[in-house]
Chain A
Amino acid sequence: EIVLTQSPATLSLSPGERATLSCTASQSVSSYLVWYQQKPGQAPRLLIHDASSRATDVPARFSGSGSGTDFTLTISSLEPEDFATYYCQQRSNWPPTFGQGTKVEIK
C-alpha cells in the first residue's frame, strides 16, 4: 500500500501567518490526493480534492498543489478557526491511505 508522510508533525504559527504543509507519497499518486481538516472532537472535513480543487464552501485562503509524489497544502493567512489537524489521503491505489497528520497550533 502507498505510504503518505506528512511534515512537519506540528506547525506553531500565529494568526495571519502563512502555513505550508507537506505530504510525500511512497510512489506516484498522480493528482489523486485529498486534504482534510479535523478539529478536536469533530469529524474530518474535506478541503481539497484532486490535489488542487477546493471543496464547496472552502475559503480561498486554502490552496493545494503538487503531483506525483510531492504535495503541499497552503493556508495563505491563518484565521483562528484554522488551527486544527490536517490529513492528506491518496485515492490512486487501493486501499485508500492517509498520512499521519500535521497539527497546526497557535504559537
Chain B
Amino acid sequence: EVQLLESGGGLVQPGGSLRLSCAASGFTFSNFAMSWVRQVPGKGLEWVSEISGRAGSTYYADSVKGRFTISRDNSKNTLFLQMNSLRAEDTAVYYCAKERWEITDGTFAIWGQGTMVTVSS
C-alpha cells in the first residue's frame, strides 16, 4: 500500500524556520516526482513546490521562491521542505503528494495526511 507520512510541522515565530519531512512507503520512491501542496484550514489548495524523481529538477510557487527549498533523499525514501523566513501567510496544512511519473506533470495522485504549520508570535 502506498503511504505518505508528513512530519515536522508546528508553531514558529515570523522569520523563523521549519523543515518538513515526508516518509514514503509502498512504491519505488525514486521513480516518481513529488510535490508539496498547502491549504489554509477552511480554504482552498495552493501548490508550493515539486521535484523530479531523480531530483534533477525543482520548481517553486512565486510566493515561496527564495525562502523554501525542496529536496529528497531517495536512499531513505524521504521528501523534505526547508522553510525559511516564514510569514504569517505561510500558515497552512502542508501535504506531500506523489505524482504519476518520474518527471513532474502536476497530477497529484496520492496525498499524505498533512502536517500543520502555524506562523505566529
Contact = CB atoms under 8 A, between A and B. Distances in A.
A11 to B, nearest CB: 17
A34 B111 CA distance: 14
B53 interface: no
B73 interface: no
A60 interface: no
Interface string A19-56: 00000000000001010100000111110010000010
B110 interface: yes
Contacts of B110: 46
Nearest to B93: A43
B44 A101 contact: yes
Q: How large is the interface on B (under 10, 10 to 19, 20 to 34, 35 or more residues)?
A: 10 to 19
A97 B47 contact: yes
Main secondary structure of the interface of B (DSSP, over half): loop
B32 interface: no
Q: How large is the interface on A (under 10, 10 to 19, 20 to 34, 35 or more residues)?
A: 20 to 34
Interface string A84-104: 000101010011111111000
Interface in B63-121: 95, 100, 105-114
A98 B107 contact: no
B47 A96 contact: yes
B61 A43 contact: no
A91 B106 contact: yes
Contacts of A99: 44
B45 A44 contact: yes
CB-based closest 6 A-B pairs: A91-B106, A43-B111, A96-B106, A98-B45, A96-B47, A100-B44
Interface of A: 32, 34, 36, 42-46, 49, 55, 87, 89, 91, 94-101
